Amino acid sequence: MRILVVEDQPQIAGFIRSGLEENGFVVETCRTGEAGFEMATTESFDAMILDIMLPGRDGLSILRSLRERRVTLPIMLLTARNELNERVEGLNLGADDYLTKPFFVEELVARLQALLRRSSGIALNILQNGDLSLDLIKREAKRGDREIELSQREFALLEYLMRSPGRVYSRSQICEHVWNTHFDTGTNMVDVAVTRLRKKIEETGESKLIDTVRGVGYRMHEAP
């Protein structure tokens, strides 16, 4: 799942990014309210973590504008002030949850997962393509009744491909979204990762699910 983090303090933003990525989330960060609002209204995210105290446009102002535009993106507020009025105002403006600094990353992850379950419903957290299923909450992959053990990177790669069956992704797109880095054309890490993933989800006798598009990249075959 793709999470937008709007936090102006680099150390806190890095702490959040590391904790979420270790739990399989894809994270995009920005440091200003203006940039956060722009990204939330022009890009696709599964949830937003929004600091209230931001330079320029503050988090409550962003929250208010997003809800006025009927943006239903689940939003968790971060605040350094343990003030009841601020928390109440945020919830009344349409925030889905809040967390007061300092916090443990384990609590952040647990709250975020609960928020996503509430907002999406558990059924929407299961990606399905033919007999291949991916449970985004339990972090489980299955091919029919066969359980598949995946590394964190393999899980992220499979999720990325399964979100849009039939869509062709270039190697640079895959690298940017799964590794969160720009693709170095001198490496073959995407090809190696896809090969390993194929061995796990396409055992002998099972239909092929990942197609190679020569000269472009890969796509998840859309199963009937």
With b for 16 or more beta-carbon neighbours within 10 A and e for fewer, the 55-93 pattern comes to: eebebbebbbbbeeeeeebbbbbbbeeeeeebbebbeeb
Q: How many domains is the chain partitioned into structurally?
A: 2
State which amino acid sits at residue 156: A
178 vs 218, more confident? 218
Same domain, yes or no: 89 and 136 = no
Q: The domain that contains 60 carries what CATH number?
A: 3.40.50.2300
94 by Cβ neighbours in 10 Å (0-12 / 13-18 / 19+) ranks as middle
Statement: residue 120 has pLDDT above 70: no
Locate 117 and state its tokens: 């379950």
Give the span between the Cα atoms of 74 and 71, in whole angstroms.
9
Give 86 or 128, the one with higher predicted confidence: 128
**Owning domain of residue 110:** 2-120
Does 175 score more than 60 pLDDT?
yes
- CA dist 213 and 38 (Å) reads 33
pTM of the model: 0.56
Average pLDDT over residues 186-198: 89
Query: Do 51 and 105 belong to one domain?
Result: yes
Q: Are residues 139 and 171 in the same domain?
A: yes
Between residues 26 and 138, the one the model is more confident about:
26
How many angstroms separate the Cα of 207 from the Cα of each of 42, 83, 145, 148? 37, 57, 15, 15
Together in a domain, 155 and 185: yes
CATH number of the structural domain spanning residue 128 = 1.10.10.10
Residue 44 has pLDDT above 90, yes or no: no
